[in-house]
Amino acid sequence: MALSAAIIGLMGFVHLLLTFRGPRLLPRDKSLKQAMEKVAPVITSQTTIWRMWIGFNASHSMGALLFGLVYGYLALAHGDLLFHSIFLEVLGFAMLVGFIVLAKLYWFVTPLLGGCLSLMLYLISVAVAWNA
């Protein structure tokens, strides 16, 4: 379980770094970034599409980090609580499946493979705990 959580947490951490450092999350077309910096969304004129892009990427990263930190901590420090809570087990499962679906529909192969590996380890750890 801790390894499952670490995979998602690490992906969230790297994504957060890439959100604020380096060119990897920038559009290949520089004019697109310039347009995103000038255009406001329909919902409000208080921000731009570019600022929303950065915010969405950062908050997405924080969600993955939170999952990794909480489930990693529970696995290492409070395994009885984690593995005896149907709520926490189903919640973790749903989050990982959600990440995988998003990766398949909207992202690319690296987060898809990381999510699948994390889910596999997650399910193995739950199965081992149930059979212990």
Check residue 54 and give its pLDDT: 97
> Per residue in 33-92, pLDDT tens?
999 999 999 999 999 999 999 999 999 999 999 999 999 999 999 999 999 999 999 999
Encoded amino acid at 49, one letter: I
Range of the domain at 124: 2-131
**In whole angstroms, what is the distance from residue 45 CA to residue 32 CA?**
19
Check residue 132 and give its pLDDT: 84
What's the chain's average pLDDT? Answer: 97
Per-residue pLDDT band for 2 (boundaries 50, 70, 90) equals very high
SS3 content of the chain, % helix, strand, coil (to 5): 80, 0, 20
Domain total for the chain? 1
pLDDT for residue 18 is more than 90 = yes
pLDDT for residue 24 is more than 90 = yes
> Per residue in 67-80, pLDDT tens?
999 999 999 999 99
The alpha carbon torsion through 14, 91, 75, 69 (nearest 10 deg) reads: 30
* CA nearest neighbour of 71 among 130, 19, 132, 12: 12
Region 94-113: what's the mean pLDDT?
97
